[in-house]
Amino acid sequence: MIYVLYFITYGFLLTVAIGLLTSWIDRKVTARVQYRVGPPILQPLIDIIKLLGKETLIPKGASKSTFLMAPVVGFASAILVSTILWVNNITSAHTYLGDLVVVIYLLTIPSISIIMGGFASRNPLASLGASREMKLILSYELPFVLAVLVPVIKSGFSLRLATILGYQLQNGAVATGLSGVLALIVAIFCIQAKLGLVPFDIPEAETEIVSGPLVEYSGPGLALYKLMKNMLLFILPFFLIIIFMGGLHFDAISIVKYVGLVALVTVIRNTNPRVRIDQAVRFFWGPMTFLAALAVALALTGR
C-alpha cells in the first residue's frame, strides 16, 4: 500500500514537476549561453499539454501495437525507477536487497523503448536512429556499471541502495575519495549519453537524421517520450547523488548538489560538438572503461 502512495506522489507527480522544471533550467541556460532570452518557465509543461491535444498518426505499414506501446513502456519504467529511488532516499524501512540491480536494469528500459518505437515505425531514418541508439547503449553500459561498482565496494559489497546511503551517512560521501571522484566523472559522461544530450545525441541528431527514432511520433506518443526524457533529466542526476553524494534531503546543500550536477551536464552539452557513433564507442570503451576500471581497483585497495 505504501508503495502505491510513493508511486503516485513521489514517483509520478514530484518527479514530473521537478523534471519539467529541470528541462526549463536546461533550455534557459542554453539560451543564456547563446546570449538569448530563452523560454518562459512554464514552457515545457505547455509543450506537453499541446502535444497531448494533437492527433496521433500511425505510419502506413508500421507495427501498430508496438508503435503505440513503446512510449508507454518507457514512461512506466521511468516512474517505477523514480519510485524506487525516492523510497530509498526517504526511508530504509521499505527497501529490499538487490534494488541497485533493478535500478540499473530499469534505467536501460527507456532507451530500449526508444529503440522499439524507432524500429516499429518503419521509417528509414527512425531505423537508423534506433540502430545508433543500440550501439550507444552497448558502449556506455560497461563503464556505467563499473562506475556504479565503486560505491558497492566502498559500502562493503552491498547491492542495497539503503546500505550505500547508510554507509555515506557515517563515513562521508563516496565522491570524497579518489576512486569516488574518478567513478563520478565516468558516470557523468555516461548519463550524458543516457540522456541523449550533445556530444552524444547521435541517435537523435536533429541536423542529419531529423529526430531519429521519434521521427514518426506525433501527439500523445511524442508527449510521453518528451515527458519520459524530462523525468530522466531528474532521475539520472538523482541516482548519481544517491550513490555518490549521500542522497537528497530537502535542504540548501541538496539543492546545490542537484542544480550543480544539472548545470554541469548542460554546460557540457553546450560547449561540445556532436561526435560520430564510432568515436563515441571508442571513447566509452577506451578511456572511460579504463578510468572506471582504475576507480574499481583503487576502491578495492581502499582508497
Partner 1 sequence: MSLKLKALLKSPWVFHLSTGSCNNCDIEILDCLTPRFDIERFGMLLAGSIKHADVLLVTGSCNRQSVIRLKRLYEQMPKPCLVVAVGECSLSRGMFIHSYNCPLPLDKIIPVDVYIPGCPPKPEAIIAGVVKLIEKVKKDKLSEKTKKAK
Binding site for partner 1 (CB under 8 A): 27, 31, 34-40, 43, 46-47, 49-50, 53-57, 206-207, 210-211, 214-219, 222
Least distance (Å) from partner 1 to the CB of residue 263?
19
Q: Rounded to an integer, what distance in angstroms lies between the CA atom of residue 36 and that of residue 30? A: 8
Nearest to 226 by CA among 3, 5, 26, 8: 26
Q: Rounded to an integer, what distance in angstroms lies between the CA atom of residue 89 and that of residue 114? A: 28
Least distance (Å) from partner 1 to the CB of residue 125?
8
User: Which of residues 28 and 194 has its CB atom nearest to partner 1 in the complex?
Assistant: 28
On whether the CB atoms of residues 261 and 241 are closer than 8 A, the answer is yes
Least distance (Å) from partner 1 to the CB of residue 103?
31
User: Which of residues 57 and 178 has its CB atom nearest to partner 1 in the complex?
Assistant: 57
Name the 3-class secondary structure at 158. Answer: coil
User: Which of residues 43 and 63 has its CB atom nearest to partner 1 in the complex?
Assistant: 43
Least distance (Å) from partner 1 to the CB of residue 140?
24
Q: What residues have CB less than 8 Å from 292, skipping those under 6 apart?
A: 142, 143, 146, 147, 149, 182, 183, 186
- Residue 95's identity, in one-letter code, is T
- Longest Cα–Cα distance of the chain, Å, equals 59
Least distance (Å) from partner 1 to the CB of residue 73?
20
Least distance (Å) from partner 1 to the CB of residue 227?
14
How many contiguous H segments (helices) and E segments (strands) does the chain have? 13, 0
Cβ of 98: how many Cβ atoms within 10 Å? Answer: 12
User: Do you know the residue count of the chain?
Assistant: 303
Least distance (Å) from partner 1 to the CB of residue 207?
8
For cell 500523445, the residue is 220
User: Which of residues 171 and 271 has its CB atom nearest to partner 1 in the complex?
Assistant: 271
User: Which of residues 209 and 298 has its CB atom nearest to partner 1 in the complex?
Assistant: 209
User: Which of residues 62 and 235 has its CB atom nearest to partner 1 in the complex?
Assistant: 62
On whether the CB atoms of residues 160 and 96 are closer than 8 A, the answer is yes
User: Which of residues 35 and 157 has its CB atom nearest to partner 1 in the complex?
Assistant: 35
On whether the CB atoms of residues 99 and 161 are closer than 8 A, the answer is yes
